[in-house]
C-alpha cells in the first residue's frame, strides 16, 4: 500500500524541513510542489528526504494541487495526505486522518480546525466561517471546516476528483466536486499552531479571502445557475417591465417622459435579461457535464 504526503509550498525553506521529516514516519513518500519559491524551499525539501516538483513561476495553490494529484494518480497511490508546509499542522496527526479511509472506507477525511479554536485569531475565525457559509451555497456541505488543507484522500477520490481553479479556492472546489460525485466524506479534529515563529501565509487575509470568494461565486453560478442567476434575472425583468409600464402610462397622461423611470426600466430589463440568459446557458452546461 502506497501512502503519500503531498505538500504545496511557497517560500517555506525553514518550517518545511520539520514537516517532511515527521511526515515520513507515517507515509512512504513526501512529495513537495515548490510553487515558484524565491528562497531555498526546494533544496531544503530535497535534503529532508522529499521528492520535489518545482515550478519557476508562482501559479497558486490550485495549480500546485493539480500537479500533486497528477503525481499521486500516476504513482497509483492508495492514500494521499495533503498538509501545508508552514508547520501549522502536526504531521503526528496524519495517522488519525488516514485511519477512517483504511478502516471505514471513507474517501476524504477533513482535518477540522474548529474543534478547539480558542487560539485561532479572531479575524481568521470570522473569515473562515464566512467562507464556509459561502461554500455551502454552492453545495450541500455538512462540514465544520471546508477550508482546511490538512486532509486525506482515498485512491478513488484521487482518481475521480477534478477541479479547475489555480488559486486558494481549490479546497472548496475539491469538496464541491467530491459531493457531486457521491464520495464518502468525514471530519477528524486536528490541532493548529498559529504562532510558529514564521510567516504562515503568502497572502494577506483580505486578498486571500477575496480570491476564495471569487472562486466560490463561480462555483455557485455553475452549480445553481437558475437559483442564483435565473431568479434574480426574472425579478429584475419584472421590475423593468413595471417601470416601463409606468413610464408609458405617465407619457400618455402628461406627454412627458420620466427619465428616472426610463433609465431604471432599461437598466433592469438589460441586466435581468443578461442574468436570465446566463442562467440558461450555465444550466445547460451543468446538465451536459452530468450526462
Radius of gyration of the chain (CA): 24
**Domain boundary pick from 166, 198, 223:** 223
Read off the pLDDT of residues 166-179 as tens digits, 9 standing for 90 and up: 887 888 889 988 98
- Of 55-69, 94-108, 185-199, 240-254, minimum mean pLDDT range: 185-199
Binned at pLDDT 50, 70 and 90, residue 190 comes out as: very high
Domain that includes residue 248, residue range = 225-290
pTM (two decimals): 0.71
Q: Which has more pLDDT, 119 or 66?
A: 66
The reported pLDDT for the residue numbered 89 is 95
The reported pLDDT for the residue numbered 64 is 95
Pairing of β 108-112 and β 151-154: antiparallel
pLDDT tops 70 at residue 120: no
Same domain, 197 and 268: no
CATH of the domain at 196: 3.90.550.10
Average pLDDT, the chain: 85
Binned at pLDDT 50, 70 and 90, residue 277 comes out as: confident
**Domain boundary pick from 223, 240, 273:** 223
Same domain, 21 and 80: yes
Same domain, 181 and 281: no
Amino acid at each position: 500500500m502506497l501512502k503519500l504526503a503531498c505538500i504545496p509550498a511557497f517560500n517555506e525553506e525553514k518550517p518545511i524541513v520539520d514537516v517532511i521529516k515527521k511526515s515520513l514516519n507515517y507515509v512512504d513518500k513526501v512529495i513537495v510542489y515548490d510553487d515558484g519559491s524565491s528562497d531555498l524551499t526546494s533544496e531544503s525539501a530535497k535534503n529532508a528526504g522529499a521528492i520535489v516538483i518545482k515550478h519557476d513561476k508562482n501559479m497558486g495553490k490550485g495549480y500546485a494541487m493539480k500537479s500533486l494529484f497528477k503525481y499521486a494518480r500516476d504513482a497509483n497511490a492508495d492514500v494521499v495526505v495533503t498538509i501545508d508546509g508552514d508547520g501549522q499542522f502536526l504531521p503526528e496527526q496524519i495517522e488519525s486522518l488516514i485511519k477512517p479511509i483504511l478502516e471505514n472506507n471513507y474517501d476524504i477525511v477533513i482535518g477540522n480546525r474548529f474543534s478547539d479554536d480558542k487560539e485561532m485569531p479572531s479575524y481568521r475565525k470570522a473569515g473562515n466561517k464566512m467562507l464556509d457559509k459561502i461554500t455551502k451555497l454552492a453545495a450541500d456541505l455538512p462540514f465544520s471546516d471546508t477550508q482546511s488543507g490538512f486532509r486525506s484522500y482515498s485512491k478513488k477520490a484521487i482518481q475521480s476528483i477534478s477541479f479547475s481553479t489555480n488559486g486558494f479556492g481549490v479546497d472548496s472546489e475539491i469538496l464541491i466536486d467530491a459531493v457531486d460525485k457521491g464520495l464518502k466524506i468525514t471530519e477528524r479534529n486536528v490541532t493548529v499552531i498559529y504562532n510558529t515563529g514564521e510567516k504562515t501565509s503568502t497572502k494577506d487575509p483580505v486578498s486571500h479571502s477575496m480570491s476564495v470568494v471569487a472562486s466560490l461565486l463561480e462555483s455557485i453560478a455553475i452549480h445553481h445557475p437558475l437559483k442564483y442567476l435565473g431568479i434574480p434575472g426574472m425579478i429584475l425583468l419584472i421590475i423593468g417591465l413595471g417601470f416601463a409600464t409606468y413610464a408609458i402610462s405617465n407619457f400618455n397622461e402628461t406627454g412627458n417622459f420620466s427619465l428616472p423611470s426610463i433609465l431604471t426600466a432599461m437598466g433592469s430589463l438589460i441586466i435581468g435579461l443578461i442574468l436570465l440568459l446566463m442562467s440558461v446557458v450555465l444550466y445547460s452546461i451543468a446538465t451536459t457535464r452530468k450526462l
